[in-house]
Amino acid sequence: MKFVLQRILFYVVTAWAAITINFLIPRLMPGDPVQALIARFQGQLDTSAIASLKALFGLDKERSLWQQYTDYWGQLFQGDLGLSFTFFPTPVSEVISQSLPWTLVLVGLTTLISFLLGTGIGVYSGWRRGSWMDSLLPVTTFISSIPYFWLGLIAIALFAVKWPIFPAAGGYDSSLVPAFDVPFISSALYHGFLPGITIILSAIAGWILGMRNMMVTVSSEDYVMVAQAKGLSERRVMFSYAARNAILPNISGFALSLGFIVGGTLLVEMVFSYPGIGYQLFQAVGAKDYPLMQGVFLIITLSVLAANLLADMVYLFLDPRTRKEA
Amino acid sequence: MTTGRPVLTIRGLNVDYGTGPGAVHALRDIDLTLHRGEVLGLAGESGSGKSTLAYAVTRLLSPPGVITGGDVHYHPPQGDAAPVDLLTLTPQELRAFRWQELSIVFQGAMNSLNPVHTVHSQLTDVLKAHRPEMRQAERTGRAEELLNLVGISRDRLGAFPHQLSGGMRQRVMIAMALALEPEIVIMDEPTTALDVVMQRQILRKLVALREELGFSVVFITHDISLLIEFSDRIAIMYGGRIVEEAGAAEIYRDPRHPYSDGLLHSFPALHGPRRELTGIPGSPPHLTAMPTGCAFHPRCGKAFDPCAGHVPVLTAPDDAPERTVACWLHHSAPGDAADPAPVSVSGAGPEADPGAGARESAGDTSAARSG
Amino acid sequence: MSIPATEVAVLDAAPAPTPSKRARLRFLRGGKTLTGLSILGFFTLLAVIGPWIAPYDPDMMSDKLLQPPSGDHWFGTTQTGQDVLSQILVGTRGVLLVGFVAGFFATVLSVLVGVTSGFLGGVLDEILSALSNIFLVIPALPLIIIIASFVSDAGDLLIAVVIAFTSWAWGARVLRAQTLSLRRRDYVEAARATGEPTWRIIGFEIMPNLTAVIASGFVGTVIFAVLLEITLAFIGVADISNWNWGTVLFWAQSNQALAQGAWWWFVPAGLCIALLGTSLALINFGIDEFVNPRLRTETGSSRKIRMRVGFTPVARTDRTNGSGGTTAPVALTKGPGAGVKSGANGSGPAKAAPPERSPGRSPEQAPDGTPDRTPDKEPRS
């Protein structure tokens, strides 16, 4: 229990830090880009919208930094992230809540698949070291060095432009209305296939290499030798002794590199014009839509923290040593 | 002293690390016989090849270890059963053989247990693998019995390795080694990580268990005083070779090889008369830079002409046919060191007495040096 | 990117306290490292001389619009008739500059935070490691996008500093773990006991042993920085008037190069990125294998003998069957010989001695070599 509480405390502190960074960035930067935006939309903004933007971006120079900070938190607790200028006058929270499910499903699913698949391949190639699989390593390294978005570009060029098998953009057929029915879900799967494969392909190499190295390291541990000496079946030695221990650091690595992976997948969304928050972020950057950008950053950070907590729970379940003093 | 039939015979065993021109010879021409019911001690400094020998016998040596020659035969207890050549078993046969006939208590119990599984799971998985007909409850019962055997209460069955003390983990390992009542138990520095009191406690337990269950033990340690106390016969290794083999009492009373003598004077004996502790000058040779001739000669106070050029062979000295030693002090020198021509006694049977001349000259040399 | 989990490996296999000069340079000999260094060297050369050898001005428009690769334009032209090869050549400098500057600053930060918290311990350690964990968990890319887009003209240097600021945490974490394990080593304890000042211990006892870890952290950060920088340019957050590979991709994307089938516009830049990334990753593998020898792909193992954990190969050089051994047909058919021998050896006076087997020495030198063993043994070649 102590472990869980510690981790939760850590994530609360991290969330606080992220929000505070978010609060400070516009205040530390030179110039007032948001002021300029408000000026541009003069007349279309009502007073309450202006007030919330002022609170979020610290435009009210009369108030002290501390007052601004408390105002900011007040806004967040009301779920008010300001108005989006790209989708004027939709509130940022609404834009995000529409796009978040797309990202959660696409990124969540593909990240999980690539982790499981990559770990599995890593287990085998680490265990059968010196086999033909070793010759795949340079290829894997090469693929893992390709930026996600470029692989997406190539995927589009090949499978959407040259051989138009898959759609090049969008999350579903625009003639359909989002609903939980067969035509919509199959259309969503069809649209999600190419971006999904792109993410899996770029992310998997890292897991293969990481797991392979851990397998090689763990294979020379004493307890693996004991397991061999005991005459256990190869499967038992490989999975229950070697892989079972090798996966532990990989899971903490998974948690820690989630933030990085999510960054990469956001780009895939941009390239595929996938209706998730990555694409929204891309549009927000183009339109200098600061409220939307900041809102997206907050949501992404909070999601990553939640996923981290989940990974910690899995770790807790797998490693008895973290469970010791309850 | 127990002198049953042989249970494990090792003949001319050679082990290299690596292959090709960069290979390092870790074991050379090892001849060793383990008899039923005896405790055979294997002593030597670190790097002498003791552990390599233990792992090579069961083909557990990690890469880049390669067995490059020799035979290892296991003789089943049924009198007329054919000996099993361990070096030619297929992986399946080897798996079936391991732990069933020969188990190992590994060096460093701290890492020998899988940290993510309970003691129960690690004691029963070996039963599951070798006794598929046993039922779950029987396996658990056997695991409790085994813990009881080594003096651990059965409620520790659900414990994870990190919840046990070092001594307990070591005893769990011993319990595990006895799970299938094997014929041979190899113990590789089983107690080095423990304090002295715990060491003796565990070894006594083990000796008692041996009386009860009748298995043979290969006991590997660098602590020769432990061996003298607990083993029947002792083989002393140096630089990848066995340099002397004799009964424990003989080794203690009358070590023939200067290295054995040096080892004996490096440890205080717990029992028996006091000895002066002198140690051995220099440090053990590295496998990549083994001296020519007798590997010990650069550190040996009694080295003389043939030692640097010729490798002494492990044979019985003439006056003591029950023991063997590989030292030119006890064999005839191979003629003039500069001229590697065969000596006159070559080709003679084992009954020949090639040692007399050598011993005489050895006596001269050592006298000259000490004087 | 192979960020995950080399931590444990690093921890338990630290380099020896005083690696000799030769040992330190040994990792250079590995094929991987050498390949990596050569590719990196090639790109570094391009970064230096790129602007001079570029055949055209990368900004210069011409009337050869969207031409596929040809003798005049090796990598083809853009929609406005600019030469893609020249853009890539000129852009190399920016990529490497940002990568190395960011790598340098991030490494300095990670050494400061990691070594301090690992060595000093206590409350400071708790705070610093919490800080690095926070920076690890917060997604860097969106954060950098926000920071960069608040600044109107984000130049290369600023981008590099921002990247450094967000990417030091992994290195700090690894260094902290490594420092912690070094701190408990005997020679460090000894130095402390003799009252050496802390800065001397860190500088002379700890740092030399962290070299490999720091180097690997640096290379890792450079990979990370290069990818981030190109990404930022691709999104259009960084200053797009500076040429780098990401800018090339930005223009390709915003001019619908994909839809027009102009593969030559975006393929070369991507391949360059992947190649540079691979070279850096290879260098890092070299360093990893140097630090953790277990990772080394087999050295000296011949094709005939397959090393396998738990099943030592048997390759008896004194037998006709010299291969693998696991399925060697020489099995139990030793016949009566085996029994005779073991019987003879087991008991007393007729103990057989194996003949001497060192090369260049003949068996008869053994004083009492038993004849029955000589036939099947030959000196090892």
| pLDDT, tens only, A149-200 | 888 888 888 888 888 888 888 877 777 777 778 888 888 888 889 999 999 9
Mean pLDDT of C363-373: 36
Q: Neighbours of B (≥3 Cβ pairs closer than 8 A)?
A: A, C
Has residue A248 got a pLDDT over 70? yes
B26 φ/ψ angles, rounded to the nearest 5 degrees? -95, -35
Instruction: Choose the mutation target among B93, B101, B126 for the interface with A, i.e. most A CBs under 10 Å.
Output: B126
- For residue B252, is it within any domain? no
> Do the Cβ atoms of C214 and C232 come closer than 8 Å?
no
The closest alpha carbon to A242, from B115, C76, B299, belongs to B115
**What are the tens digits of pLDDT across the range A87-116?**
777 888 888 998 899 998 898 899 899 999
What's the rounded Cα separation, in Å, for the pair C206 and A104?
A: 44
Please indicate whether, in this complex, the C-beta atoms of C305 and B19 are within 8 angstroms of each other. Answer: yes
pLDDT at C102 (0 to 100): 92
pLDDT above 50: residue B344: no
Listed range (B314-328, B357-371, C93-107) with the worst mean pLDDT: B357-371
- Contacting residues of A for C288, CB less than 8 Å apart: 213
**Range ranked top by mean pLDDT from A313-317, B221-225, C100-104:** C100-104
Helix residue ranges per DSSP H, B216-350: 224-230, 248-253, 258-264
Return the half-sphere exposure (C-beta side, CA atoms, 13 A cut-off) of residue A31. 10
* Confidence class for position B276, pLDDT limits 50, 70, 90: low
Residue of A nearest to C309 (CA): A219
Q: Which structural domain, as residue segments, surrounds residue B101?
A: 6-222
- Residue C133 in this model has a pLDDT that exceeds 80: yes
Mutate to test the interface with B, among C297, C305, C311, C312 (most CBs of B within 10 A): C312
Burial level of B259, CB count in 10 A (0-12/13-18/19+)?
A: buried
Pair of tokens at residue C127 = 């705070």
Cα nearest neighbour of C289 on chain A: A213
Residues C141 and C145: their CA atoms lie apart, in Å, by: 6
From chain B residues 273-332, the ones with a CB under 8 A of any chain A CB are: none
pLDDT in tens, B5-25: 889 999 999 998 877 777 888
Per-residue tokens: B41: 């001690």
pLDDT value for C171? 87
**pLDDT for the residue B40:** 92
Structure tokens given for A296: 């997206």
Assess A257–C contact: CB distance below 8 Å, yes or no.
yes
Residue of chain C whose Cα is closest to the Cα of B85: C332
More confident residue, C341 or C38: C38
Between A59-68, B14-23, B338-347, the lowest mean confidence (pLDDT) is in B338-347
Mean pLDDT lowest among A268-272, B131-135, C154-158 = C154-158
- Whether the Cβ atoms of residue B21 and residue B288 lie closer than 8 Å to each other: no
For the cut 50, the answer to whether the pLDDT of residue C324 exceeds it is no
Burial of residue B21 (number of CB atoms within 10 Å: 0-12, 13-18, 19+): exposed
Q: Does B103 touch chain A (CB under 8 A)?
A: yes
Q: Answer yes or no: is pLDDT of C8 > 60.
A: no
Instruction: Report the C-alpha gap between B84 and B362 in whole angstroms.
Output: 42
Which chains would you list as touching C if contact means 3+ CB atom pairs under 8 Å? A, B
Alpha helices in C54-155 (DSSP H): 84-120, 122-137, 140-150
Average pLDDT rounded to a whole number, residues C333-361: 35
Mean pLDDT, rounded, for B166-181:
88
Q: Is the pLDDT of residue B194 over 80?
A: no
**pLDDT tier at B252, thresholds 50, 70, 90:** confident
Residue B167: pLDDT over 50: yes
Tell me which residue has tokens 């900004």: C59
- Asked if the Cβ–Cβ distance from C142 to A130 is below 8 Å, we say no
pLDDT band at C346 (very low <50, low <70, confident <90, very high): very low
Give the pLDDT confidence score for residue B216 in this predicted structure: 92
| Selected residue with higher pLDDT from C287 and A101 | A101
Section B315-335 average pLDDT? 78
- Tens of pLDDT, residues C171-197: 898 888 888 888 877 788 888 888 888
- For residue B28, give the 3-state DSSP assignment: strand
Count the Cβ atoms, other than its own, within 10 Å of residue B266.
Answer: 17
- Residue C348 distance to chain B (closest CA, Å): 5
Residues of chain A in contact with residue C138, where contact means CB-CB under 8 angstroms, are 14, 17-18, 21, 259, 301, 304
When scoring B87, B244, B359 by the number of chain C Cβ atoms within 10 A, the one with the most, hence best to mutate, is B87
Number of compact structural domains in chain B:
1
Rounded to the nearest angstrom, the minimum Cα separation between C378 and chain B is 10
Range with the poorest average pLDDT among A127-131, C27-31, C211-215: C27-31
Cα gap A247→B251, rounded to integer Å: 50
> What does the pLDDT read at residue A324?
56
Question: Has residue B306 been placed in a domain?
Answer: no
ipTM of the complex, rounded to two decimals: 0.84
Question: In this structure, is residue B329 part of a structural domain?
Answer: no
Q: How confident is the model at residue C59 (pLDDT cuts 50, 70, 90)?
A: confident
Q: Rounded to two decimals, what is the model's pTM? A: 0.77
The segment with the largest mean pLDDT, out of A26-30, B213-217, C24-28, is B213-217
**Residues contacting residue A32 through CB under 8 Å, at least 6 positions apart:** A59
Task: List CB contacts (< 8 A) between A244 and chain B.
Answer: 114, 116-117
Q: Quickly state the pLDDT bin for A144 (edges 50, 70, 90).
A: confident
Per-residue confidence (pLDDT) for residue A2, from 0 to 100: 79
Helix axes A290-318, A2-28, angle to 10 degrees: 160
Q: Which residue has the tokens 């690595």?
A: A253
B321 found inside a domain: no
| Residues of chain A found within 8 Å of residue B107, distances taken between Cβ atoms | 222
Tell me the C-alpha distance between A74 and A96, whole Å: 19
Q: What's the length of chain B?
A: 371
Q: Across the interface, do C358 and B18 touch by the CB < 8 Å criterion?
A: no
Q: What is the pLDDT of residue A291?
A: 85
Single-letter residue type at A224: V
The count of other CB atoms within 10 Å of the CB of residue A166 is: 18
Residue B228 belongs to a domain:
no
pLDDT of residue B265: 78
What single string gives the DSSP state of each residue in C264-326? HHHHHHHHHHHHHHHHHHHHHHHHHHHH-GGGS--SS--SSSPP-TTS--B--TTSS--S--T
Neighbour-count burial of C139, counting CB atoms closer than 10 A to its CB (0-12 exposed, 13-18 middle, 19+ buried): buried
A242 DSSP 8-state letter: I
For residues A261 and A274, what is the distance between their CA atoms, to the nearest angstrom? 17
For residue C328, pLDDT over 80 is answered with no
Q: What is the pLDDT of residue A209?
A: 85
**Tokens 């912690």, located at residue:** C180
Positive or negative torsion for Cα C170, C172, C173, C175: positive
| A281 to C134: CB separation less than 8 angstroms, yes or no | no
Within an 8 Å CB–CB cutoff, is residue C25 touching chain A?
no
Q: Average per-residue pLDDT in chain C?
A: 71
Instruction: Give mean pLDDT, residues B259-274.
Output: 72
Provide the mean pLDDT of chain B.
80
- Supply angle C-alpha A138, C44, A148, rounded to 5: 45
Mean pLDDT of A10-32: 84
The band of B149, judged by pLDDT with boundaries at 50, 70 and 90, is confident
| DSSP 8-state code for residue A177 | P
| CATH code where residue B74 lies | 3.40.50.300
Q: Answer whether residue B336 is part of any domain.
A: no
The pLDDT score that the predictor gives to residue B2 is 44
Choice among A116-125, B28-37, C360-369 with the minimum mean pLDDT: C360-369
Residues of B within 8 A of C377 (CB-CB) are 12, 69
Structure tokens at B358: 């050598």
Q: In 3-state terms, what secondary structure has residue B13?
A: strand
Residue B272 pLDDT: 59
Across the interface, do A147 and C278 touch by the CB < 8 Å criterion? no
B62 to C309: CB separation less than 8 angstroms, yes or no? yes
Q: What's residue C19's pLDDT? A: 40
Say yes or no: A36 contacts chain C, CB-CB below 8 A. Answer: no
Across B100-122, average pLDDT:
86
Please check the confidence at residue B119 and state whether its pLDDT lies above 50: yes
Residue B146 counted as domain residue: yes
pLDDT confidence of residue C202: 83
pLDDT grade for C201, boundaries at 50, 70 and 90: confident
Query: What's the pLDDT score for residue B356?
Result: 40
What pLDDT, on a 0 to 100 scale, did the predictor assign at position A117? 94
Indicate the residue of A21, A147, A237 with minimum beta-carbon distance to C273: A147
pLDDT of residue B103: 92
User: Do C367 and B343 count as a contact with CB atoms less than 8 A apart?
Assistant: yes
Strand partners, B6: B35
| Angstroms from B129 CA to nearest CA on chain A | 6
CB of B218 within 8 A of CB of B10?
A: no
The verdict on residue B144 lying in a domain is yes
